[in-house]
Amino acid sequence: MTHENEELELDQQTQEMLAADQDFGFARVYTIELKYKQKPSFARKRLLEKMNLYTGEVQQPEEQKQPYHQSTWEPSLESESDLLHFFHLNYLVNFADGEMPAQTSLMPAPSRPASEYETAVQQAWHWADAEAVVEECQYSLFLTDMMASGLEPKERLRLITGALRAILETTPCDAIYFRESDKLLEPGDYLTAIEAGASLYGAMNVRFFNVQGNDHEQEEMLMDTVGLTALGIPDAQCHYFDLEPGDVAQYLTSLAYYMFDRGDVIQDGETFGPSEELRWHCEHQYALAGPHRLVLDVDPGHPYYAGKHVAPIADDM
């Protein structure tokens, strides 16, 4: 095989891998947006100390070590190349050429209007003031991971969560947006939840939809999680009639934490439930509500299960 053919084959393999990721919903790069009402300014030394505290030993590129006579980093919001980059030595990823530390970057990003967070606002049951706060925010930063997609899901989330915590305790923002879960969060609530052990509080969103235009006499509803597939674990969904939404939400949350802790271990046809009397059948499917991704569909049985197909999703409640 010629070198040219080898490159072509590699490109095809890469394309197939990326296509499979897209079909599953996996995120090669994980992104969290921090939104500020006032232009942020970071105490470099404090940020590095917090990064070491929450993510373990950290190194930075040589060019970023030089300006430490400047005690602060005020991101130039006109240039996305103005960034802080961190190598996390406690999070090593195996590659063909050897191990490499996972990395995170903090960089300026264009501030988007509140209208671009419409779907997140619609599902922000946990934060009534989300839309109003986002409308006041004029500045944004992206926290992203790099070379981290090879980490186990729990390790990858622990890394990005630790980096986010370091940032919030250095220069608190006014709103957090988890892109992969389409979830807006109040920063204080997020820190409280993480400290209480709710590791998926930002990374997973539990969504609720009323399905309009159906031919059923009963009220048809769809509830799902979004955000887990970005980390390599299927999301969960339930398409149902006549069940209490709060109970379904609690069930899906428990199921999601179970899969996140143990992996995609539930096989098609197996059951999962809070008790021996209440067991719902599970099956891997593609999501009924976007984004396109793999989910574990749970069937609560007759007369509650609304099936594997859904009318066009109408307005969320």
Handedness of CA 7, 9, 10, 15 (dihedral sign): positive
Does residue 23 surpass a pLDDT of 90?
no
Q: What tens digit of pLDDT does each residue of 290-300 get? A: 999 999 999 99
Distance CA 307, CA 236 (A): 15
Over residues 162-202, the pLDDT tens digits come to 999 999 999 999 999 999 999 999 999 999 999 999 999 99
The H or E element containing residue 46 is helix 44-55
Task: Identify the sign of the CA torsion 142, 152, 65, 164.
Answer: positive
Mean of the pLDDT values across residues 124-150? Answer: 96
Distance CA 112, CA 116 (A): 7
Which residues lie below 8 Å from residue 295, measured CB to CB, with a gap of 6+?
224, 225, 229, 234, 235, 236, 237, 284, 285, 286, 287
Q: Where are the domains of the chain?
A: 28-195, 205-299
What's the longest Cα–Cα distance across the chain?
70
The average pLDDT across 244-251 equals: 94
**Of 245, 271, 269, which is closest to residue 258 (Cα–Cα)?**
271
Tell me the two tokens of residue 40.
Answer: 């942020």
Which pLDDT belongs to residue 225?
98
Res. 115: pLDDT tops 90: yes
Band the pLDDT of 310: cuts 50, 70, 90: low
Q: Please say if the pLDDT value at position 158 is more than 90.
A: yes
Give the full edge-to-edge strand order of the sheet including 220-226. 205-210, 220-226, 235-241, 294-299, 280-286, 271-272
Structure confidence at residue 216 as a pLDDT band (50, 70, 90)? low
Would the pLDDT of 119 be above 50?
yes
HSE (CB half, 13 Å, CA atoms) of 301?
9
pLDDT for 218: 74
Which amino acid, 251?
Y
pLDDT for 61? 87
pLDDT-derived band at 6, boundaries 50, 70, 90: very low
Residue 144 reports pLDDT greater than 80: yes
The secondary structure element, H or E, covering residue 248 is: helix 245-262
Residue 89: the pLDDT is 97
Residue type, 98: G
In the chain, the percentage of residues whose pLDDT exceeds 90 is 73
Pair 239, 222: CB distance under 8 Å? yes
Whether the per-residue pLDDT at 126 is higher than 80: the answer is yes
